[in-house]
Structures are given as C-alpha cells and as structure tokens.
Amino acid sequence: MLTNQKELFSLPDDITYLNCSYMSPQLKAVAEVGVRSLYGKDDPTSVKPEDFFNNTRALRTEFAKLINARSEQQCAIVPSVSYALANVAKNLKAGNGDNIVLADEQFPSNVYAWKALEKERGITIKYITAPQLKTGRGQSWNEKLLEAIDTNTKMVACGHVHWADGTKFDLKAIRKRADEVGAILVIDGTQSIGALPFNVQEFKPDAVVAAGYKWLMGPYGLGIAYFGEYFNEGSPIENNWMNRIHSEDFRNLINYQNEYQPGSIRYEVGESANFILTPMLTRAIRQINEWGPANIQAYCKNITAPYLKELKDLGIQIEDEAFRGEHLFGLRLPEHMNMEEVRQRFEIQRIYVSIRGNSIRVSPHLYNSEADLEKLVETFKVKTMV
C-alpha cells in the first residue's frame, strides 16, 4: 500500500492543497527533467534526428501502458483536449437528423466541438442534466443518459468522472448501449486518467483524451489521446511533416508522402517532439505507472473516508461511493451554510479547493494526509456559519 509521497513534491508547508483537479503540483523529478531539457538546446548538435521520434515514442509508450492500449501507435500527442476533440469532430460520421448525447455541464472543451457540428451539419445535441436528488443522484444520472441514447445517436461524449463533482459514469453500460445503436464513445479523461484505473480493453472507447497538467502530473500545454479503430483511416485537422510515413529519413523529406504514420499518430500535433514538455510528461506518467492508479484510489479513500462521514453528519451532500471517484468528489452545502462564507474561511485557512457551480470540488492526492482532511472538516464546523 502506498504511503504519503509529499517529499517528492515542492508544495509549501503552510497550505492545504486539495485541488489536483485544478492543477497538480510539480514533481521534483519532473522539474529536474524540465531544467535539463531547457538547457539541452545550448548545443544543437546534441539533438539527433532520431531524438525527434524517440521522444514521442517514449511518451506514447508510457501512456499506452497506463490505459492498457495494445500499441503506443494507437496514441497521439496533443496540445490540449480541444485539439483531440477537433479531430474527433472532423471525422464523426453524422449529419442532419442525427444526435450526440452529452452529460450536461461538462468542461467547455467537451461541448464547443459538438456545438460547432450542430451548427455546421444540423446535428442535434441532447444534454442530459443531473437530477436534483439528495440520494441516488449518480445512479439516476447514469440511467437518464442511457435512456437518451437512441437509434439516431452517433456519439456519446462524457468523462469517466464529471469534472465538477466527480460523479462517475458507467462506461461499460454506456459502451454496451452505444454498440446497440452504432454510436461511438468519446471520453474526456482529464479528471480521471492517472488517478482512477482506466482500461481501454474494458471500456472500449473510440477516443480518449487527457490534458497533461492535472492527474497525469505533467506540465501545462501538452496532453495525450487514444484513438480506436473508428479513426484509423481518418483525416487529421493538421498536416505536419512528422505524421507522414518515412518522416524519420530527413534526407528524403522532399519526397512528399500521401500516407500517414501508422495508427493514431496521424492525429499528433506538429512539433510533438517538444524537447522540454514531452520528456517532462513522459517522466510524470512513468511515476504514475510506478504508483499505479488503483493504489492512488486506495490511498485517497483511506485518508478521506472518516472525514466524509463527518461531513455527511453536518448535512453536506456527497455522492454515493459507487458513483464517484475517491480522488475527486463534490460537497453540496445544506441550506444553513453559505457558500461565500465557506469560501472566505477556506481563504483564511489557506485551504485550496475549487468551487464549480453549486459544488465544492475536493481532489486529494498522495501528497495529502488525514490532517489535511481534518482541517477541511473543521472549517465547516465554525459556529458563525450557522
């Protein structure tokens, strides 16, 4: 079982950081890679042609291991979630009369791409809102989403957990229903992959993307995606020299190629070999693979479970355990607690969480301890809040 890993980070001792869903703190090992890489360009002769491709292959390999993809060639380095989803949108086989089913109130990047299709092709978006229930909310939301999928549905888009409150979606059930109507399944894994086990052999998504700077513990400005068989012969939104076949041979780059690199590499962003960010994200995901997402979940559960009970006893609403992640969960306040007053008390106590809609989003990691959760709970017990 994993123990506290705070020594691997440079977090200040005078803050309580329960906000990995906003941005992960920097691993010391990742920072060291970044510094070395920054100075690597001092001598350009040290950068060999093969380094462009070794860099990208190493990152794809670590991500493929993390999500249990059969080959690193099914993965693609992207600068953002929106970039990967633009590739999905361009290659979605859908038009007038078809629909896309979305879990409502998702992060905008997993909405705007589809709103553009709604305007351009006459596709209908079906937003599935969360039920206003105090118990059974996650289960009911999953049921509503499944019911919304019909014979005109061409794609279902959601996260493994909802970005604002950690509500978990039953991806196996959604996959099964999508298969029944011939729809694809597209997952924004930004708030789950790296902390919650994600197995593409189990969930069988058609596309998955994760930004690198949250649960993948990497730098801002780089992410990574997986594209399934549906996209094997697709057309990327960008045509760069590295995503074409035989681009490893610098001497023959003027012999232009119509064929792309194998698998999903066609969807990679230009300059994906980024000699600073790519090695940093590679090192970060390697660390996650060493820890294991299942172990991260277990650790988060161990340090939060006693305090979640206390919070519920105070009247705070928390999703049922079966329908939320252990690494990310929302707190909904009872009527006698004021959100703005709570926010101010967090600020005074230097407790860092996120407020998203009517939910206080709490997202611990291996650098947190039970003392952090105890401090969080005590903030809710202040008498002036009643």
Q: What is the pLDDT of residues 202-246, one digit of tens each?
A: 999 999 999 999 999 999 999 999 999 999 999 999 999 999 999
Model pTM? 0.95
CA gap 147, 144 in Å, rounded:
5
- The pLDDT tens digits for 327-358 are 999 999 998 899 999 999 999 999 999 998 88
Closest to 278 in 3D by CA, of 42, 12, 47: 47
pLDDT of residue 152: 98
Question: Between β-strands 153-159 and 351-352, what pairing exists: parallel, antiparallel or unpaired?
Answer: unpaired
For residue 382, what pLDDT band results from cuts at 50, 70 and 90? confident
For the chain, domains (ranges, CATH) are 6-27+293-385 (3.90.1150.10), 38-290 (3.40.640.10)
Greatest Cα-to-Cα distance within the chain, rounded to the nearest angstrom: 74
CA gap 159, 105 in Å, rounded:
11
